[in-house]
């Protein structure tokens, strides 16, 4: 008869993350990645669906048994990490306009999660969960899509208008150049 006790881990799974989506007997230390869908709203009320992927691994002090035991202190580390990251991203996105977010989305998201080192004034390389020694080392923005049709239509009109403005300015420049060449020919 084996002298072992098994604990079934119940981790969040799916996209967006839902509790108890994964049952596991072994806890992998990584490196690995997890993907989540986060709904955010900009300061000008544009609602967006972000698909974010996080690279992670556990990094306890290998010489310390108490540090290694911290890995098991958070029952659902996936849900905890995704909720924390989503909260930080929502807070940062809510403080900027859609146009600002559209132009600087990667920087805004990375800054919100990793923070800025006050000494170097650069974005940090990782975000550490001290309770369980989980490190988020990278964030990949896989997609940014408007949630409501009104925002999607406004974005489409904005893109169309930008194309029309660029086209008409190029046509005007070509007409001007043609007129200049014609003047020189006389």
Query: Could you read off the pLDDT of 4-45 as tens digits, one per residue?
Result: 778 889 999 999 999 999 999 888 888 999 999 999 999 998
Whether residue 3 has pLDDT greater than 80: no
Average pLDDT (46-65) is 93
- Residue 161, pLDDT above cutoff 80: yes
Q: What is the pLDDT of residue 1?
A: 63
Look at 53-57, 61-65, 116-120 and tell me which has the smallest mean pLDDT: 61-65
Query: How many Å apart are CA 73 and CA 131, to the nearest integer?
Result: 7
Give 139's pLDDT tier (boundaries 50, 70, 90): very high
- Dihedral pair phi/psi, residue 105, rounded to 5°: -60, -45
Over residues 57-109, the pLDDT tens digits come to 999 998 988 988 999 899 999 999 999 999 999 999 999 998 899 889 999 99
pLDDT score at 27: 86
Q: Residues 103-119, buried b or exposed e (16+ Cβ, 10 A)? A: eebeebbbebbbeeeee
Q: From the CB of residue 50, how many other CB atoms can be counted at a distance below 10 Å?
A: 21
How far apart, in whole angstroms, are the C-alpha atoms of residue 69 and residue 129? 14
Task: Kindly list the distances between the CA atom of residue 87 and the CA atoms of 109, 112, 147, in Å, as whole numbers in the listed order.
Answer: 11, 9, 18
Q: What pLDDT, on the 0 to 100 scale, is given for residue 59? A: 93
Q: Please report the pLDDT score of residue 2 as a whole number.
A: 66
Q: pLDDT at residue 162 above 90?
A: no
Inform me whether the pLDDT recorded for 155 exceeds 80: no
Burial label, 23 (beta-carbon count in 10 A; 0-12, 13-18, 19+): exposed
Give Dmax over CA atoms of the chain in angstroms.
105
């Amino acid at each position: 008869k084996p002298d072992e006790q098994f604990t079934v881990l119940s981790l969040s799974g799916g996209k967006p993350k839902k509790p108890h989506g994964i049952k596991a007997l072994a806890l992998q230390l990584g490196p690995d990645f997890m993907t989540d869908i986060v709904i955010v709203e900009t300061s000008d009320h544009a609602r967006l669906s972000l698909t974010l992927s996080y690279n992670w691994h556990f990094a306890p002090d290998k010489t310390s048994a108490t540090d290694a035991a911290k890995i098991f202190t958070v029952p659902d580390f996936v849900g905890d990490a995704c909720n924390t990251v989503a909260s930080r991203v929502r807070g940062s996105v809510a403080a900027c306009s859609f146009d600002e977010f559209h132009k600087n989305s990667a920087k805004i998201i990375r800054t919100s999660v990793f923070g800025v080192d006050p000494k170097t004034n650069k974005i940090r390389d990782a975000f550490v969960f001290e309770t369980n020694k989980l490190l988020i080392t990278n964030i990949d923005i896989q997609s940014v899509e408007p949630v409501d049709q009104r925002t999607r239509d406004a974005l489409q009109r904005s893109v169309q208008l930008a194309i029309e403005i660029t086209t008409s300015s190029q046509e005007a420049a070509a007409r001007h150049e043609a007129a200049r060449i014609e003047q020189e020919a006389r």
